Amino acid sequence: MDLEYFKQEKARAKDLYRKYKKVYSPYFQEDIILNSKGLYHLQYSNGRLRDTKEQLFKFRCIELGIQVIRKSSTIQEYREVEIFTEDNSFQKACFWGMVAIIGSNSFKMRVVLRRVGSGEIHFWSVMPYSRIKNGRQKLYEEGLENG
């Protein structure tokens, strides 16, 4: 992979987070926050650095994810878990999954939103709803909090 291209796409992802600090969700009828926690999660999963190809893919899907948030009026997935937080306590974390067919290629995307405790709902992740194999989408299941 071209390291310079990766750096450019990472910088573009950061710029998108600065540009779209909040995105209105018709489902929640409130703004969804794009913050450093979500951007960090696009680069790391369970404290481990994601493969550069996976990071690049997620960076390039941010704009589609924003469109999904703006378009979705339903939730397809929901999960509550207890997580260990930065302040060394356990708190309830809620994860919502929104799925929409988006973009000029009618790509099925999944966006994951998260709220920890009573905090704001923020953009957590974006990914295809299914894996691509031989040019076709294949459905799969994966935990919302890890996506």
Give the C-alpha separation, 52 to 13, whole Å: 14
Tell which wins on pLDDT, 139 or 47. Answer: 47
* CB distance 72 to 87 below 8 Å: no
Name the amino acid, one letter, at 60. R
- Sequence-separated contacts (24+) of 103-110 with Cβ below 8 Å: 103/64, 103/67, 107/64, 108/137, 109/61, 109/64, 109/65, 109/68, 110/68, 110/76, 110/77, 110/147
Specify the higher pLDDT residue, 104 or 110: 110
Judged against a pLDDT cut of 80, whether residue 142 lies above it is answered with: no
Both tokens of 121, joined, read 């709902």
- Three-state SS at 85: coil
Strand-pair category, 44-45 with 48-49: antiparallel
pLDDT band per the 50, 70, 90 thresholds, residue 147: low
What residue type is assigned to position 142 of the chain? E
Q: What integer pLDDT is reported at residue 27 of this predicted model?
A: 97
Can you list the pairs that 108-111 forms with residues at least 24 positions away whose Cβ atoms lie under 8 Å? Answer: 108/137, 109/61, 109/64, 109/65, 109/68, 110/68, 110/76, 110/77, 110/147, 111/65, 111/68, 111/69, 111/72
Instruction: Give pLDDT, residue 130.
Output: 67
pLDDT, the chain, mean: 87
Structure pTM?
0.84
Q: What angle do CA 93, 113, 66 make, to 5 degrees?
A: 165
